[in-house]
Structure 1
Amino acid sequence: MTLDARPIRTGADSADSADSTDSAASAAGAVADGLPATMRAARFDTAAGTLKVEDVPVPRPGAGEVVVKVAACGICQSDLSQLDGHIPPRLPVVTPGHEASGVVAAVGDGAGHWKAGDRVVLGAGKACGTCPACRFGGGTNTCEDLQVMAFHYDGAWAEYVLTDATTLIAVPDSVPLEHAAVLADAVSTPYGAIDTAQLRSAESVGVWGLGGLGTHLVQLTRVCGASPIVALDPLPAARERALALGADFALDPTDGYTKARLKEITGGKGLDVAFDCVGRTPSFTQAERALGHRGRLVLVGISPDPLAVGPELHFVRNRHTVIGHTGYRMEHLEDLVELTARGRLDISGSVSAILPLEEVNEGIRRLREREGNPIRILLRP
């Protein structure tokens, strides 16, 4: 796997040849491009398992790159998976955070139409540039070794973030940047999962796990015309929220009557599509068993659990399909900005809290303990 392990470029890279004027500017905390010399960033030491907010150099854009001043960045369950070691580290030290929005601060040569002051949301990955798909011009949407922000290269739990110009989507003034940040994964990943499922109008849907991904899946499947929509979560508050956001039914998956209730809701046919946003053995098994003939189960959640489909006869006879899903394509993110700007998708209730960067560990604690049943906790550097 190709990793983007390039060192952060700073104004000090050519310090030996810099003149006294440049040195004075750097000492004053500014350089000719208008960016400060240093910034605050949360740095995760993968060997020590520690996360600390530190002063680090501000990145400088190279060819085709853009530096964005971060307005907001979400704390995602996959961030916790990296912090807990469930996702193997790619870099020895990395800045987490892959759900970000902000304002363009500086652009490199060949960065297209982007200019300082543009409001943007960042796609959470970039093409590797070396795989067969990239060599034949496929780019981010078809890359076979996609480089993921906050895992393969530094993310946006920081005041500034460096990204490829191809990863940006413009955000109109009518969409708050905090809402735009939520779109970048918490909404776009479930939207991409709907595409993966090839969901059609009037198909029945079950959503297991009503955190950030599952809650937005309920909203999005409603927008896409699914019927009925069944939301499943052990927490009563999560089920009530799902009903308010468009679910037709909300069930407790730990209730012994749930299997029969799912059959009743679907008229005995079973679900057309099930989305497992939990990824654990019980949710996977229950979701697969709830499928009807030719039903599709889409795995969205991440966990270390080994998963098995059960007896082959049951699986094959019913022609079930299990599909793994990760991330989204740039057109998905662009679609969601359009839907939000037009008022077709309301995510105003998705921002559960906004914390300063220095309180990143408090935000992680709240998500880990599900304090207040959060959809998305944002950091504001």
Structure 2
Amino acid sequence: MPHAGYLKIVSKSRAACIAAVEIYNRTVVQYREETFAILMVNAWELLLKARIIQENMGKHSRLYEYQYRKKKDGSKSKFKDLKLTRSGSPMTIGLDHCCNIVAGYANNRIDVACIKNLQALVEVRDNATHFINQDIAIRKVVTEVSLGSVKNYVIAIQKWFNVSFSDLNISLIPISFELDQDGIEAVAKKPAVAVSRFLAHMQSMKQEAHAFESEYAFSVRVEFDLIKNKADGAVKATLVRDDADLTLGVDDDRVPAGFTWDYKTLTDRLVERYDNFSQNPLYHKIRKTLEGDKKFCFVRYLDPKKKSSSIKRFYNPNIIQEFDKSYVKRGSTLFDNPQTTAKA
């Protein structure tokens, strides 16, 4: 039987990871890269501590910090006492110590690539108050390291604890489109000393991480190409003005990628997912409200040129997260958040 002690830590770690990604995905939020780094480092530290407890048959003592006693003459004794926090609780080991322990395990361990990625993330966190996110070159590096940390985290939590994020449809961190080429060139020509030092340090860690084969990643690079010719399944991108956002469009008669559920599939999934779900007026009210949001519902007309023609709606599976706010999941587990009971 698994030990509830470390499963609770895994649950808190997972919650921290989800919060980190949700913050990063909110592009209008200020200080989001720095907040992501703080939460993601916390998620990793909790995950590694849970792994250590798991390896030690549920014993938390392996996480505790100890210090040598002092003799009456002030010299160091050979005996150790538990080190306590200001509030009197046992003090636990830090992230670096956790990494060293888990890296030494025979199975389900981390390696150099994963450790270097975490060290880079800690650098982002520690430099947050200085210059992070004020420089285009740094933003690119931070984004790539952040993507790597999420990829590594999902690999580790699935392998170690068989925990999945499929129920949440967790998404990748988006890349910001930097259209100010003059700004990029200026950074390349005259980088600040602090920026140069930071980027050089990141590059050094990246080279160390890439010296060995690994399933983990130091960073993840994402590139976008604007394709002039029309290919099957391609989404058209239109740049409206120099100062405008990148606008994406789809053909009226083509269902966008990701909108894979029809009405029956959506309803069946909700029946399977919730204890208190029924096809009553409340359900239809919630559904119709969400159908007005293009992120969740795509309306396909039988004749795209005639808006009065018959239609069929297709739903993005992410819509289920909105229903989570109103219904209670079946067989709630340790990893499920408490849900609000729906009222008709």
Give the TM-score band, short-chain normalised: under 0.3
Bigger relative CO (Cα 8 Å, ≥ 6 apart): 1
TM-score (norm 1): 0.23
Larger Rg: 2
Give 1 or 2: higher strand fraction. Answer: 1
The structure carrying a bigger helix percent of its residues is 2
